[in-house]
Amino acid sequence: MVEKSIFLLLLLVSIMCIVGGVLGATYKNIPSAKLANTASALLGLASMLQLRISGWFDGVMRIYSDQARYPYGPPSHVTREIIDNPDHPIRTWLRNALFFDPNFGAYLAVASLLMALAAVWVPSQN
């Protein structure tokens, strides 16, 4: 329920930014480029949230965790890739997060959009 509310709020604010950007093309005192970039970043965040709400990420994981195809788990060479070396827990955690956690890519996308959004509004030094 909270995700749906945040999704709708992101869409609403994005639409407001788009309208403000269009008005900024007419009136010189509205920062239309900043509003357009903000709308872009907010729409990107909304798209990631919509994919999560719609179950797209779960559907992708369902394909690759098929028990009928691999009833005893993944083949041993895949298991060795996932487990790595238990004597190095930090390296194992980092490797698993970077290469095997399906949510990590979504987190990176959200972080990049937030960084873009922040960069738009940082005042420039002249």
| pLDDT of 82 above 60 | no
CA-CA distance, 37 to 76, in Å (whole number)? 47
Please tell me the predicted confidence (pLDDT) of residue 38: 87
Please tell me the predicted confidence (pLDDT) of residue 126: 47
The residue type of 3 is: E
Which residue would you say has higher pLDDT here, 54 or 123? Answer: 54
Please tell me the predicted confidence (pLDDT) of residue 9: 93
Contact (CB, 8 A) for 117 and 38: yes
Share of the chain above pLDDT 90, in %: 5
| pLDDT of 84 above 70 | no
Quick one: average pLDDT of 40-48? Answer: 86
DSSP 75-114: -HHHHHHHH--TT-HHHHHHHHHHHT-TTHHHHHHHHHHH
CA-CA distance, 92 to 25, in Å (whole number)? 52
Contact (CB, 8 A) for 45 and 10: yes
pLDDT digits (tens, 9 = 90+) for 108-122: 788 878 878 877 876
